[in-house]
Copies of this chain bind each other. A is one copy, B any other.
Amino acid sequence: MARRVDPERHEARRLQIIGAGLTVLAERGYEGATTAAICREAGIGSGTFFHYFATKTELVLAILELGTAETVEKAAALEGRTDPLGVLLDLLGSWADDAADPRIPGFVRAVAGVMHLPTVAAALAADDRAQRDLLLPWIERGQATGEVRTDLPPARIASWLALLSGGFLERVSVDDAFTVDTERDLLVATARVFLLGHGSAADATTGTRR
């Protein structure tokens, strides 16, 4: 009765469930995504699910961690690049491309709905941190080479790039006329203008009343 644990098979199954979870969570939100629905989508029995994830929340965390891991991988792939501005714009572009998978914005919304769960908040914070850790060195290098505006600290610039990327994702998911195809280039262009700091600081507040 030897039962090889066969870690490959295990990992494959795990990814299969993660894919099903992503699909169902995106479609129906956290509460709408019953474990039963996820299992059906994954083609497994309800008991099997809990062999791989102790709770439904843990599945969500696993998906988030997968995203974080991808961010880290992205960092490695950029080793050797010498054009900080280009790198930053490439990153923005690649995040825009992520939004083309319709499950991504749906999943992001689903997660937003359970951000009050401490574990989810923590995973989201970790994801955010990974994104910043990826951006910061390139921002700093860009500022050093003069390609990136220096009137704002790197951390703040990172936040604003995240703002653009997050806002873009939301638009795609909410606004039918706003698609990755048609708007991606404008995202990159807008980010470039922001990073260059054109027309910035000095007269920033003119013409607006609080």
Contacts and interface: CB of A to CB of B under 8 A. Distances in A.
A29 B204 contact: no
Contact of A199 (B85, B93, B198, B208): B198
A114 B113 contact: yes
Interface residues of A, number: 67
Interface stretch (A12-20, A34-42, A66-74, A165-173): A165-173
B189 A204 contact: yes
A126 interface: no
A112 interface: yes
A63 interface: no
A178 interface: yes
Nearest to A89: B208
Contacts of A32: 116
A61 to B, nearest CB: 16
A45 B175 CA distance: 39
A144 interface: no
B186 A193 contact: no
Contacts of A208: 86, 89-90, 92-93, 185, 188
A165 B159 CA distance: 14
Which 7 A-B pairs give the minimum distances between C-beta atoms?
A: A113-B113, A167-B167, A189-B204, A163-B167, A109-B112, A112-B112, A89-B208
